[in-house]
Amino acid sequence: MSIENVLFKRCLFRSLCTFGRKASRLVNREDNRKSISKRIMSALPKKNGHHQKFTICVEGNIASGKTSFLEYFKDTHDVEVIEEPVNKWRNVQGGNILAKMYEDPTRWSLTLQTYVQLTMLQNHVKSQEKTIKLMERSIYSAKYCFVENLHNSGKMPDLEFAVLSEWFDWILDFHKCPLDLIVYLQTTPEIVYDRIKKRQRKEEQTIPIEYLQTLHNLHEDWLIHQRKFPVPCKVLTLDANYELDYMHKVFEENRKKIICDSG
């Protein structure tokens, strides 16, 4: 064997060894990357696993049956109920800004709706212990129905509406407030007007039926016709014009769509 052949084989051997070491390092790096990726993915919430949380919101006009809806599902396994924070609106350092708004909406609408927006945001971001969070109303209906109504009727000036709208947009940009399902309790204004008179809540006794008609139209435009405002999730509409005993049957018939399909 010539010297040239010996040198060539040595060079080839060294090259193959070097290539083998590099290839081994690349394989190890790839294995490490896959291992890390698996650990990261296993820590993320699973779409169909126990880590995923769901938020369901019940919407509707005043006296549409939202509280009854929450009462019916409150003892369901792995469901936590969050009521509309009306008691906070009735007692802000001893002052009832909900009552003041009904008495003088031009003066108090911005004050109330600013506080409503804050307290609804608190409900959205509240730490969730159970799989399903069941909320009464949302930050969306506060803006798309109640604030819009006050502005459209001239009870909230353009400048105040612009300030509140900018706050709302900022909140959604930074906090998202996701929903997985809206249950819309659809009622006629005449039905809820009659219920309001029967339940005799002090703040509500001066509410005219025209106000309820306008709120009804805004809910319909938002959740049924979807004409003006974005709907953040799918909507389940239930006819809620019936007495409580019958509505319990309606709730039970739709339990799977409300609870099981979410959780």
The Cα diameter of the chain in Å comes to 112
**Known catalytic residue at 136:** yes
Q: How many CB atoms lie within 10 A of CB 34?
A: 10
238: left (phi over 0), alpha (psi -120 to 50) or beta: beta
8 Å CB contact between 201 and 90: no
- Candidates 136, 190, 220, 252; catalytic one: 136
8 Å CB contact between 161 and 151: yes
Q: Supply 29's token pair.
A: 């790096």
User: Phi first, then psi: what are they for 261, rounded to 5°?
Assistant: -70, -20
8 Å CB contact between 121 and 138: no
> Would you name the residues annotated as active-site residues?
136
